A and B are shown apart, each in its own frame.
Chain A
Amino acid sequence: LSKLPETVDPMIRAHILSLCSALGGTSTVEDGGYSLGDDALACLKDLKKWLKLYDQKMNRFDVARCMAEANLVKGDLLEILSGWEADEIEDRIKQRLALGCVELLVPLTWPFERYSEQSTVNHHRHIPVLQFAQAGYKKAILQHPSKRILSNILRVALPSIAVPQNERTERDEGIIKLVLYFFRNLVTIEHPMITETDTGEEISRSVTIEALEEQNVLQFLLVVSSEMGNEFNTQDVVAMEVIYHLVKSVDIEKIFLTDEQESRKQGQDLTALLKLEDEMKRASIRGASTRHNRFGTTVWIERDDKTRSFVSGQGALLGKSTALDKMDASKKWRKPGGADKKGISRKTEHDMSLTLERRAKAKFRSFVEDFLDAGFNPLFSHLRRAIDRDAQRLIEANQQQYFYLIAWFLKAERIRRKTLAAAADPKDTATPDSESFGLVASVLNQESLITLNRRMTDWLDTKQWTPLQSAMRCFTQILLTVQDMAVSPLEDDREIAENIQNRLFYEEVTLDLVVMILRAYTRQPFGWLDDCTEMVHVHLKMLERFSKQHEHLFIRSRKRARAQRRKSTAGGDGAEGVPEEEDEEDEDEEIAKLSKVTMKERAFDYSRFERKFLTQGCVNTFLAFIGNYKELNYGQMKRAIIFFHRVFVKREQEVLLFRIDVIELFNRILQGPDGLPNSHPARKEMDRFFKHYMRKLVKMLEKRPELYVELLFTKVNSTMHYLQFGYDKQIKVSK
């Protein structure tokens, strides 16, 4: 054993161990309770210094590892913390001790950044061990028999919170933040590797939520977020992070189901799944051999030029297409896909889904509702200002979390309304009206929309797909909320919705952004594709409806990209912009001559905008989406079909979809051995679309045989018009 290289310098280990044992230990006198060492407070301070001056300064994890070995957290810190009885709030010494413990716990539970520029060999040596240690800490904290570790930690911060905000010292602010950071760390910790014997159940989200609720931490979070901007100021980011890690990937719809509904739904889901499986089994039996596997059948497929391809196995006898499928399946070669160096296709946090257990669910639901009622507006408007200011306390990931949370809570609010409306007595119309959308108003104002827009543009430009995904979700949810507002029984809500839509659809740049994002799809994970197509779908639908309701809709578009001085000096915020633009309409010609106008208001033409979606890039994104048909539910399938319908039927850009791989895909979805099962709700619509598609295609092929070649390719712009209409565009113009 001595030959093994030491992971940690033995001297350091000795130091840490001696400090830990000097801290205190199990008493032999008082029924085996914990008794503090004489210099416990000094020991805590020393340990803290070790962590700070050795680990942090030299960028190592040696001390943290020694502490994990010494069982410091469970053996000492938690004992000290739990020893602080409820009637000893005023006890200064105990409070100091508790603070010392928290000061150690925070760095010990700090999340690891696995692949940063600063990581060294040492990190890779220690992190795997420390991750397990952290999971152990979390388990010990949540399961501690005293059941007051969390509330005692909370109590550490209470004296500082009691001081009015303007009288707080830096130390007070620091303590509040420290406690919040501890909770952030606690909810962030996940089990590093789940095995059969260690399922990580003890530290799952449900258990965490239950413990946090029982020990009043959730209430504390509500207080912090609802008093944001008043009693609290710089703690906004940390508070948001705690909430983010609590909320992320939780399935919202399930939270708002009652137990009865949920069990019924589970039953239905199970039935549906079993039925699907049954169909799958039958489909696979259909293609299977009816004889034993050495029966030996060989079939050849003869072509017109008398060449033959051979296929073996009985299945080949079934029909030409199965034989061809078999022929294809026997080919070993695969097209090299190219390495995904940037990791674009890697799944992210956004692609997960999580269901809470029954008891935690109820607690979580009431937290979510309380947060929406009290904390949503103050916290998010405060954060939005911080983001706009580029405040120092924000890191890159925070903005992503911000948009993710907005999307999540907006959706939660919408679902809450829906469940309330469903539960309310239909005859009694007076009560449900009382709630207005004011609860989520802070993210629907102009400033927030601008922030969102700017971030989306940034992230698209820099190809940061994961943050972009959260922003897209946020945008979709804002649109959906506005849509709900527009049909609200309250007059005010309807008016505001009208206003917001006006603003949303006023800038052409915003509209174009949606198209550009859709076109930017390359190989992002499925979740991204889902969010992207949903955003496009909702956006197009709302814009269409809105432009139908308003005959004279104006938008602001960029005319020339050249810088224009005169206008910028004339200035004008968004509010004043409208009358100004009108004045300029008169001078329009003159200005156009000078080509100085950068922005111009013009009548909005929906069909012109829709035409931007009629490009191969956009169609390809939706094709990639529907390529995942096995995982799509009815709504998602429908979304894709509606888009294709838009392209193919409404706008008659059939050529865009006339491609052999598209035919192959549609055919596979409907006819293939692993296509949509018969019971799939979207099958009927898909079937109808495909039949229409094939009829058009056959007619077109008979009319223009050159399409046989063009079926192989993405169409070239110069010939697309000819293919579609049978004559060249130019000829028509010259006539």
Chain B
Amino acid sequence: KDGTKDNLGLDEEVKIKRKRINAKLDEARLLREDIGIPKLRREAPKRLRFKGKGHEYRDAAKLLSYYQLWADDLYKKAKFRDTLQIIEKLGHSRRMKMEREGWIMDDNKKTSGDTQKEA
């Protein structure tokens, strides 16, 4: 404010500009409770109802559009096919493999538990 005092700009606070962080699709994002695979596990079996025989194309379109919207929420900037490729690649990591096995085990237990109850 005082032009005579600060004409060299020495007293002005130096602002460090941060480089914008680009959102990245990585394991952490993929495993996020609200948009990642947990959401898919929660919702997909409930939301998707297929008609089966005679309606194959409609079923396929339904399935694909569900996944596409899910992928869009997960990672806005990439196209559907690219997102799928990235996710597929992430699936090769050790951590993801363990998680995936865990999910399958969970469901396995659930279904086998159900059948036991039924029996």
Contact = CB atoms under 8 A, between A and B. Distances in A.
A binds B: yes
Interface of A: 301, 303-304, 307, 309, 320-321, 324, 327-328, 331-335, 659-661, 663-664, 666-667, 670-671, 690-691, 694-695, 698-699, 701-702, 704-706, 708-714, 716, 718-719, 722-723, 728
B40 A663 contact: no
B9 to A, nearest CB: 38
A690 B56 contact: yes
B100 A698 contact: no
A301 B69 contact: yes
6 closest A-B pairs by beta carbon, nearest first, are: A713-B91, A694-B56, A335-B82, A706-B107, A705-B45, A708-B44
Given A327-B72, A331-B78, A722-B108, A667 B60 contact: yes
A661 B85 contact: yes
A163 to B, nearest CB: 66
Contact of B61 (A304, A327, A671): A671
Given A334-B82, A714-B88, A698 B52 contact: yes
A321 B65 contact: yes
Contacts of B44: 705, 708
9 contacts: A334-B79, A659-B88, A663-B60, A667-B57, A694-B60, A701-B48, A708-B45, A716-B97, A719-B101
B77 interface: yes
A65 B52 CA distance: 74
Given A301-B69, A705-B44, A716 B100 contact: yes
B19 interface: no
A666 B56 CA distance: 12
Contacts of A705: 41, 44-45, 107
Nearest to A319: B61
A303 B47 CA distance: 11
Nearest to B84: A661
Given A660-B84, A664-B84, A667-B60, A714 B91 contact: yes
Contacts of B78: 331, 333, 335
B41 to A, nearest CB: 6
Given A304-B47, A333-B77, A713-B87, A706 B104 contact: yes
A706 B108 CA distance: 9
A320 B61 CA distance: 9
Interface of B: 37, 40-41, 43-45, 47-48, 50, 52-53, 56-57, 59-61, 63-65, 67-69, 72-73, 77-82, 84-88, 91-92, 96-97, 100-101, 103-104, 106-108, 111
B59 to A, nearest CB: 6
Given A690-B56, A712-B84, A660 B67 contact: yes
A713 B100 contact: yes
A331 B104 contact: no
Contacts of A661: 81, 84-85, 88
Contacts of B106: 706
Contacts of A659: 88
Nearest to A712: B87
Contacts of A320: 61, 65
A307 B73 contact: yes
Contacts of A660: 63-64, 67, 84
A299 to B, nearest CB: 14
Between A304, A307, A335, the greatest number of chain B beta carbons within 10 A of the residue's beta carbon is seen for: A335
Contacts of A333: 77-79, 82
Contact of B79 (A328, A663, A704): A328
Given A309-B72, A706-B106, A706-B108, 17 more contacts: A304-B47, A320-B65, A321-B61, A321-B65, A324-B80, A331-B77, A333-B82, A334-B82, A335-B85, A659-B88, A661-B84, A664-B80, A670-B57, A671-B57, A704-B107, A704-B111, A713-B96
Given A335-B78, A713-B100, A667 B64 contact: yes
Contacts of A328: 68, 79-80
B64 A664 contact: yes
Between A303, A666, A690, the greatest number of chain B beta carbons within 10 A of the residue's beta carbon is seen for: A303
A695 B53 contact: yes
Contacts of B111: 704
Nearest to A711: B67
B41 A708 contact: yes
Contacts of A670: 57
Given A307-B73, A664-B81, A695-B52, A708 B40 contact: yes
Contacts of B59: 694, 698
Nearest to B22: A333
B83 to A, nearest CB: 8
B30 to A, nearest CB: 9
A701 B50 contact: yes
Nearest to B85: A335
A443 to B, nearest CB: 42
B61 A719 contact: no
B45 A712 contact: no
